[in-house]
Amino acid sequence: MSVCGAARCWWIQTRGAVSLRVLQQNRTVCTTGAPESIREKLQAFPGGSIDLQKRQESGIAVLTVNNPARMNAFSGCMMLELEQRVHELESWTEGKAVIVKGAAGNFCSGSDLNAVRAIANPQDGMRMCEFMQNTLTRLLRLPLISVALVEGRALGGGAELTTACDFRLMTSDGVIQFVHKHMGLVPGWGGAARLVGIVGSQNALKLLSGAVKVDPDCGRQMGLVDEVLLCSSGEGETLTHAEQWLRPFIKAPAPVIQALKKVVVSGRELPLEQALKTERNVFGTVWGGPANLKALALKPKHK
Ligand SMILES: CC[C@@H](C(=O)O)C(=O)SCCNC(=O)CCNC(=O)[C@H](O)C(C)(C)COP(=O)(O)OP(=O)(O)OC[C@H]1O[C@@H](n2cnc3c(N)ncnc32)[C@H](O)[C@@H]1OP(=O)(O)O
């Protein structure tokens, strides 16, 4: 059943639910589906797709924002599909990482301006923002190491999407630009809050108030870009380079990688006492587990 054919209420089901449950208590992130009205409105704007390829052998998923005729701008249906793909990844037990990219050598040009023009009243605009904020918060909280692969332009909401990943890799032609000022707007998908956490408040203010075109050098200097991929524009080659960059970080069984991401999320988002409690709970899921026992068996017994 396509998402656009049915608006459903999604609940986050995940192991180590303490971290998510505590996070939900502390955050206004709604884990239930957005009100029917905004879903119906978003369904009225078709076009493009959010494609997900889960590679069981490597544990790396590739999530592609696919609307090349619109420079991968988000139609309403793509916003709904993104939530569905994130929901799928929340329950991918073999997963270790997800690479978020755009189609045809561009990252994403933000909201589809045709939809933006039609969702012009403040109430619906705020509901669309809340829907995307919730989805992008869930993307960043996935128990997977997430990487935004920025080829070409990441503009507006597309720039915000890059901040909803743990890391950002950029090709030499890549640009991240928070163009919101030029639209008479501020980021609405949570990009401002996350950007402050990534580059600090002063650099965030410069990038937003200056609508600065962040190229690879600027991004590396600011700490917004974690690696520049010096490779030809071949889409397949760039993705291969991104997977190679990820490899050292996912060299462990999926439950261990997922546990590591969960304790980092709770350390980043929770007050210390709750973060420590989450860490203990997650520790309990891997202590004495297959990977732990296998590692102990390989250690020489000390006399
Ligand atoms: C919370 C933020 C969120 C929101 O408020 O909802 C937003 O993200 S608002 C949108 C922010 N994004 C933008 O403002 C970028 C808009 N696009 C552009 O400025 C330019 O297209 C470009 C990205 C600078 C590229 O320019 P250029 O190289 O000249 O190509 P074209 O302009 O001809 O674009 C090719 C093609 O793609 C269509 N396009 C591009 N971006 C969008 C978009 N965001 N929504 C809809 N369509 C988009 C563009 O119209 C062209 O299509 P055709 O005219 O049919 O050829």
Q: How far is the CA of 11 from the centre of ligand 1 (A)?
A: 33
pLDDT in the model for residue 235? 63
Distance CA 40, CA 124 (A): 11
Amino acid symbol at 85: R
> Do 119 and 128 touch, CB atoms closer than 8 A?
yes
Q: How far is the CA of 85 from the centre of ligand 1 (A)?
A: 24
Q: How far is the CA of 73 from the centre of ligand 1 (A)?
A: 7
To test the ligand 1 pocket, which listed residue (71, 78, 173) has its Cβ within 8 A of the most ligand atoms? 71
pLDDT in the model for residue 30? 41
25-34: Cβ within 8 A, 24+ apart: 26/269, 26/270, 26/271, 26/274, 27/137, 27/269, 29/133, 29/134, 29/137, 29/138, 30/130, 30/134, 31/134, 31/138, 33/7, 33/8, 33/9, 34/127, 34/130, 34/131, 34/134
Predicted ipTM of the assembly: 0.94
Protein residues with CB under 6 Å of any ligand 1 atom:
70-71, 73, 109-114, 116, 153, 155-157, 179-180, 183, 185, 187-189
Q: Which atom belonging to ligand 1 lies closest to the Cα atom of 125?
A: 6
Q: Tell me which residue has its CA closest to atom 18 in ligand 1.
A: 109
pLDDT in the model for residue 234? 64
- Which regions in the chain score pLDDT beneath 50? 1-3, 5-20, 22, 24-32
Q: How far is the CA of 36 from the centre of ligand 1 (A)?
A: 28
Helices (H) and strands (E) in the chain, counts: 13, 9
Q: How far is the CA of 208 from the centre of ligand 1 (A)?
A: 18
